[in-house]
Every structure is written in C-alpha cells, then in structure tokens.
Structure 1
Amino acid sequence: MAERSVLVRRIRIFLAVVIAGLVVSGITAFPLREEVALGRGILRSIGLDTLAPEFVGWVDRVGEGLDATAVAFPFIAYGTDWLAFAHLLIALAFIGPWRDPMRNVFIIQWGLVACAGIVPLALIAGALRGLPLGWQAIDVSFVVVAALPLALALMATRRLEALPTASAASPAAAR
C-alpha cells in the first residue's frame, strides 16, 4: 500500500508541474502588450541591448507589432484571449489523471501527443511567420518542460497499474 501512495504522490507532483505551466501560460497570454513593454524595459535596464542587440531588437519588433495592432485592429487580441482560455481548459483536463491516474491515463498520453505536435508547429508556422530560429527553439523547449513530467507520470501510472490490487493482496480475499 505504501508503494501505491508513493506512486500516486509522484504522479500528482508531475501533473502539478504541467498544470502550473499551463495556467501560467494561459494567464500570461492575456496581457501581452503590457508584458512585452515590461520586458523591453527590463532588458534595457540590465544592459542586454548592448550584449544581445538582435534579441532585444526582436523583442522591440514584437512590442511595436503588438502596439500597432492594438491601435489599428484591437480585435486581433481576441485571438490571444482564446489562446489563454485554451491553456486554462487544457490545464483542467489534467485534473482527471490527478484524481485517478489509471482511469484517465489516456489524458496523459494525449498530453504527450500534443507535446510532439509542438515541434512541427513551431518550426513550420514559425518559419512561415518569419520568427527567428532562436525564438522557435524557445517554443520547442516547452516540449521538454511539459513532456518530461508527463512521461514520468505515464511511467509511474504504468507501475501503479502493475501493482496488485488491494483486494487481491488482502488475506480476506484468499478465503
């Protein structure tokens, strides 16, 4: 019984990492203009504009694009509102395996498939949209951030499934 509770605890920790990442990603997709403006100021205040001018130049370009779009076409930001909402809903999907990992293992597997889809999306759409390769690499890095705890949760769930059930292990079941 102790091994079962240890595995469930591990699964919940792994899923908590994924859920937290999705919630943070979702919440931070709402105030993009404000975040980029803050980031631009921070990058300049720490002198990164002299150390990595191409990086800061890209962040400036993103900020200028967000500002110009907000003035001319404010409704475009509605798309990122839906992106934020989707992240929050995806986070909620992982409550199922949090509560009952064996019954909802398919959600963990689905999450791993979604992670695999990030790579071609970031590389193909990023190239089509003119994103620098380094920025695409940052997006692809989210695969590791989410797929690693999901893979660990899946392995722990498989170990949990392999354990004998409580009724089969009890002396009363043998009678």
Structure 2
Amino acid sequence: MDERRTLRGIRFSLVALMLGLVISGITAFPLRLELGFASSVLHDSPLVAWFPDAVAWVDRVADALVDVDSRYPFISYGTDWLAFAHLVIAVVFIGPLVDPVRNIWVIQFGVIACVGIVPLALIAGSIRGIPLGWQLIDISFGVLGAIPAVIAWRLTRRLERLRAEPAVAATIAA
C-alpha cells in the first residue's frame, strides 16, 4: 500500500468513527421522544410477540423518562452532557485526520475508550439493574467503535513505517 492510499484508509476509518460518535451524541438529546417513538413502533410490529421482555423494557424506560422529565427535568441535564461529550470526542479526532502519525495517541485513546465500554456496561449495568441483553447492546457500541479505531491505528503504524523508509535509505546512502 502506498502512502496516499494508506492515508485515505486512515481517514475513512476515522470519519466512520466520528460519524458514530456524532450520531450517538445527537440522539442522546431527545431520549424521551425517541423512547416513546420506539415503544409505539415496537407495539405496532411483530416484535412485541417475539421479544415481549425487550418491548416491556423499552416501555419501562420510556415511562421512567416521562416520569423523571415531568418531576425532575434537571436529571436530563446529565444526558445532555453525555451527548455533548460524544460530540467533543468526535472533534478530538480531527487531529489524526490532519496528521495521524503525530496524533496516533488520539487513536490509541479511542481504542482504549471502546475497550473500556465492556467493563463499564457489565459492572454499572449490573448495579443499575439493566438487563443483560441491553448491556450486550451497549457493549456492541464499543466493539463497533473499536473496529475503525483499530484499523486506523494499524494503518497509522504502516504510514509511519512508509514515511520512515526514505529517511532510512537516505541515511544508509550517506
């Protein structure tokens, strides 16, 4: 792979990761509306018969959001910050888009953060009474995020080697 093609692969992977973060961030703002919509869609589909426990869980969460929002709207401020954090983390990946070799630490941070989702979901999910199936869905976001991050990391290491080859050849020639 030549340098330009490697750089294109890095950028494609990083943009995919950034889009995932932005979508996750934006969709964390209107949780109450989204869960209400999801509940109505699930009840109008065959999924209500196939996965009654999952539909009941979505209903429970939707009801809780309505209740909390009506009595304690400031609690939703926490998910606003969660949404904002996703957007900020996406912005951090602009550095590796511009210069991946210099900013490889951001890509490594992204991989570590994705891996960290697994114990967080399992530990906090168990403590908070989140069903295992939902914890696995949360874990899948870490796995899906890790894929483009690991690809970008590997390609960045390759780019680093490609850029070092001419310097090594020049040193040997001198």
Q: Deviations over 1:78-113 (max 9, x none)?
A: 000000000000000111001100000000001111
Partner residue, 2:7? 8
Partner residue, 2:96? 97
2:56 maps to 1:57: yes
Shift of 1:170: 9.8
Could you state the TM-score of these two structures normalised by the residue count of structure 1? Answer: 0.93
CA contact (8 A) 2:3 2:162 kept: yes
2:110 maps to 1:123: no
Q: Number of aligned residue pairs: give it.
A: 172
Could you state the TM-score of these two structures normalised by the residue count of structure 2? Answer: 0.93
Partner residue, 1:158? 157
Structure 1: 5+ residue stretches without partners: none
CA contact (8 A) 2:104 2:156 kept: yes
Cα RMSD after superposing both structures:
1.8
CA contact (8 A) 2:104 2:153 kept: yes
Partner residue, 2:38? 39
Partner residue, 2:65? 66
Shift of 1:165: 5.0
Partner residue, 2:146? 147
Shift of 1:144: 1.4
Q: Which amino acid aligns with 1:60?
A: D
Q: Which amino acid aligns with 1:87?
A: H
Shift of 1:168: 4.1
Q: Aligned pair in 2 of structure 1 residues 72, 99: CA closer, same or farther (>3 Å)? A: same
Q: Which amino acid aligns with 2:52?
A: P
Structure 2: 5+ residue stretches without partners: none
CA contact (8 A) 2:115 2:143 kept: no
2-structure distance, mates of 1:4, 1:165: 11
Q: Which amino acid aligns with 2:105?
A: F
Identical pairs, percent: 52
Shift of 1:43: 0.7
